[in-house]
Amino acid sequence: MSGDLPLDEGTRIRREAQRQVLDRGALDAVLDAAVVAHVGVVRDGAPLVLPFACARDGDSLLLHGSTGSGLLRIASGDAVCVTVTHIDGLVFARTTFDSSMQYRSAVVHGTAAVLTGEAKARALTTLSEHLFPGRTAEVRSPNTKELAATLVLRVPLERASVKIADGPPEDSEDEPRSVWAGVVPLTVVAGEPVPASDVPDGVAVPESVRRVLRARQPREPEL
């Protein structure tokens, strides 16, 4: 998507406002890189925040959970706040006060709606392909019992804010340059696949797993 995200009192960033990014494409990029979103609601008068698998689907965010989850039952039709954060690096400044992190974050405000029928089935495919690319072609589709136990929520991306912190340390000119300063990049990498104990010898690692390995190759640090 292109264009700017609309601003209101709920989406305007006040702390380090210069880091707010209004480009809608930046929101999509943050959400597309996420596999977990934290969902906040008010339950019985108290705040509650829980993590859920997520995937962007066009102009909305899909959240996957169980029909037995009290949070998802209450969230249906209620206002929710959904957050996604990626930590990209630790910023070592010449003082602990100026040390910080590189990050990309998004906050989405909206009303959650429960998906049913064909919309639910399509959303589950979207979620599966986001989390496990190519896996739906390798395994069977969910059966009736499994579908009944699964709940999918859709939250529109109409009200959202994006905040990005990058770049080098910001030190005072008075700090000694003999003290090392810089950035330690952080990233999520894939390890060696571990087969289940009942996988027979000779069963090859499927392409869906190899896709994850290729996408999350570890990188050698530059010292």
Question: What is residue 77's predicted lDDT score, i.e. its pLDDT?
Answer: 78
Confidence of residue 177 (pLDDT cuts 50, 70, 90): confident
Separation CA 186–CA 26 (nearest Å): 20
Measured between alpha carbons, how far is 94 from 79 in angstroms, rounded to an integer? 42
For 70, residues 6+ apart whose C-beta sits below 8 A from its C-beta are: 43
Rounded to two decimals, the pTM is: 0.90
Q: Is the per-residue pLDDT at 70 higher than 80?
A: no
Domains of the chain: 17-171 (2.30.110.10)
Paired strand residues for 47? 42
Q: What whole-number percentage of the chain has pLDDT above 90?
A: 78
pLDDT digit string, tens, across residues 39-68: 998 888 889 898 999 999 999 999 998 887
How sure is the predictor about 14, in pLDDT bands with cuts at 50, 70 and 90?
very high
**Distances 16 to 129, 164, 166, 205 between C-alpha atoms, Å:** 36, 10, 13, 46
Residue 95 has pLDDT above 60, yes or no: yes
pLDDT of residue 220: 63
The pLDDT value recorded for residue 67 is 80
Sign of CA dihedral 73, 115, 62, 148: positive
Considering only 94-103, 131-140, 174-183, which range has the smallest mean pLDDT? 174-183
